[in-house]
Amino acid sequence: MMPSTKRFRIRPAGLAAGLLALTVAAPTVAAAQQPTAPPLSIELPGQPEGLVDRVVAVAGDSLILLSQLSNEMLVLAAQGVEFPPDPQGMRQAALDVLESMINVQLLLQEAQRDTTLALDDAEVDARIQAQVDAVQNQLGGPAQLQAAIEADGMTVAEYRETLRTRIRQNLMRDLYLRRQFLDLPPVAITEEEMRELYESQRASLQERPEILSLEQVVIPATPPDSMWDRARTELDSLVARIQLGEDFADVAQEASDDPGSGANGGDLGWFRRGAMVPEFDAVAFRMPDGVISEPFRSSYGWHVLRVDRQRPGEVKARHILVRPESGPDDMGDTLERAQEIGDRLAAGENAQALADEYGHQDGIPVRLPRVSRDAIGESLPPGYAPALADAAEGDVIPPFELDFNGPFVAVMRVNEIREAGEFTFEDVEDQIRERLQEQKNMERIWQGLRDRAFVDIRF
């Protein structure tokens, strides 16, 4: 996905590592297994000696075999899941994995009946190749990969087909769940439930790093009107080439100023409403497939786009961006405006009010989520880490330049710095609520699937 029209993203880091322990959802079927797993043995209690295979569950119109359950547990073990050594504990673990397999089978059956859910074959192929490349690199090369596949009793074609099946299932599952989550009514989470989960996981949480609370105003360097006019003229010439028969992707790859998508022929992939800046959404979600839009302008430059495919709530599109050039004078004027903002922030003025007054860039938050000082480089876009390296509480960070596929200037205020220490309930309250909501929503989805289907456990 291209960075130019995508909204400002903050990648969770620092806090996220300590919160992984708060995931309480039931186990799910593993991703495509690697052929490099060491030999493992899963002895399931209650298997008659000499038994080849048998049905352990009926899930809707699917049978789940003992061999499939054993293989699933082998995959989980290869990924680091530890199963109890005693027969009773192993049996309960196997039942838990079986319940998860039943849920996934019912979900896939329901998803396959939904004719509005369609997978992108190109995306499936790309994920298969990425998985093959990753395993190949891990093993040391194509020859080692082939040897490992053959050692597992498969051909390369069979291995790829196994990957295809799993990847298609995972993508179909994700599409179905995304649709279901949109339609589910809000679920109530009590503070008692959140505190109970917090206390149960408290000992396993890592130490909270030093945390910064920040506000910012980000303004674009504004080229003169003549540069905007020149950019529009250039875009018109590119559109004319496409109308005369040149391929949209070839023209985008040659001439688009968007480094995120230009190299891929302008391909933005699938995106939902709200993922792009408003000017982009306004065009993308009203265009029919295959039609080239009229040129339109955003703060990034002049755009033209073509929607390739649509499905409920999402579109897959390509675009071309022509960005107006900015000169040194433009940046100088922007830095002066940013310094005015900084002076007013230092005087205690409201950051949101200043953002509204000075034309803060749409899609970039004024109040940033709390961020670990150690993880600024991972959590925030390039440019923030040097500016915040020595920041103290109450500081107003002098204007610094950013590049969001175009020149911008940011000025920030450090509202609070919390010293490193134990995570408090308030530190993780939002994450706990989100986890519990997700868990309860999943429970509702699983229960609804089971209410509509025949399930018989024979383990």
| Interval 107-139: pLDDT, tens | 999 988 887 888 888 889 989 998 898 888 888
**What pLDDT is recorded for position 227?**
86
Does this chain's domain 211-222+327-418 share its CATH topology with 225-322? yes
The CATH class, in words, for 225-322 is alpha beta
**27 near 100, Cβ under 8 Å?**
yes
Antiparallel, parallel or unpaired: β 314-322 and 55-59: unpaired
Specify the CATH number for 211-222+327-418; select among 3.40.50.1010, 2.40.50.100, 3.10.50.40, 1.20.140.10: 3.10.50.40
Antiparallel, parallel or unpaired: β 407-418 and 211-220: antiparallel
**252 near 270, Cβ under 8 Å?**
no
**What pLDDT is recorded for position 8?**
47
Q: pLDDT per residue over 304-340, tens digit each?
A: 999 999 888 889 999 999 988 866 666 778 888 999 9
Distances (CA, A) of 231 to 222, 282, 317, 441: 13, 21, 22, 48
Secondary structure of 240-299 in the HEC alphabet? HHHHCCCCHHHHHHHHCCCCCCHHHCCEEEEEECCCECHHHHHHHCCCCCCCECCCEEEC
**What pLDDT is recorded for position 285?**
93
- Four-point Cα dihedral 254, 255, 257, 258, nearest 10: -50
Q: pLDDT per residue over 83-100, tens digit each?
A: 888 888 888 999 999 999
pTM, two decimals, is 0.52
Instruction: Give me the amino acid identity at 119.
Output: L
Could you tell me the residue ranges of all domains in the chain?
A: 24-113+184-205+426-459, 211-222+327-418, 225-322
Q: Residue range 147-157: average pLDDT?
A: 86
Where is pLDDT greater, at 201 or 52? 201
Where is pLDDT greater, at 218 or 46? 218
Q: pLDDT per residue over 275-300, tens digit each?
A: 888 899 999 999 999 999 999 998 78
Instruction: Give me the amino acid identity at 302.
Output: W
Number of H helices, E strands in the chain: 15, 11
